[in-house]
Amino acid sequence: MRYFLDTEFNGMGGELISLALAREDDKVGFYLATRFMSKPVPWVSDNVIPVVKCLGARPVICSADAIGTAIMSFLFNDHDPVIVADWPDDISYFCKALIVGPGKMVDIPSLKFEMIRVDAYPTTLPGAVQHNALWDARALRHKVMGDVQ
């Protein structure tokens, strides 16, 4: 199955704020926000922080080091997951979350990545909130797959 990925982070290379996966079948997705500790850069403060929690997107709050285990649990029954992103940083933050120690990663036997460079916005997806990781992952899914609900 394909999972559409989006992340929000504190400026280029900054701390991860949130990570979301929208399933291609549009069933319940995955949305986590970290216990964000850094002072947000002005753009993030204005555009991301206010919408981390919004209508249709309430994240589970966890520590950054727990995200990999949560991803593993979410993907547990899928033996051939494909992670689709529209930006390389999203893949980078996702992969970093899978690393749980020196030379150790969560137990995900197989993963494929696909990067499709498209702009998910503007979107016709009802209710979409730009810069919210879950809504952005849904908007990417909507752009790539069309409305298959």
Strand order in the sheet with 112-115: 60-62, 30-34, 16-23, 2-9, 82-85, 112-115
Length of the chain: 149
Q: Is 18 exposed, middle or buried (0-12, 13-18, 19+ CB in 10 A)?
A: buried
For 98-141, the pLDDT digits (tens) are 999 999 999 999 999 999 999 999 999 999 999 999 999 999 99
Residue 149 is predicted with a pLDDT of 47
Write the pLDDT tens digit of every residue in 14-36.
999 999 999 999 898 899 999 88
**Can you tell me the distance from the alpha carbon of 108 to that of 73, in angstroms, rounded to the nearest whole number?**
9
Query: pLDDT tens digit string along 24-79?
Result: 998 988 999 998 888 999 999 999 999 999 999 999 999 988 999 999 999 999 99
Q: What is the mean pLDDT of the chain?
A: 94
Q: How far apart are CA 41 and CA 14, in angstroms?
A: 9
- CATH architecture assignment, domain 2-145: 2-Layer Sandwich (3.30)
Q: What is the band of 147 on the pLDDT scale with cuts at 50, 70, 90?
A: low
Given this model, what pLDDT does residue 98 score?
97
Q: Is the dihedral of CA 127, 133, 137, 139 positive or negative?
A: positive
The amino acid that residue 116 corresponds to is I
Question: Do the beta carbons of residue 68 and residue 16 sit within 8 Å?
Answer: no
Q: Is the pTM of the predicted complex or chain greater than 0.85?
A: yes
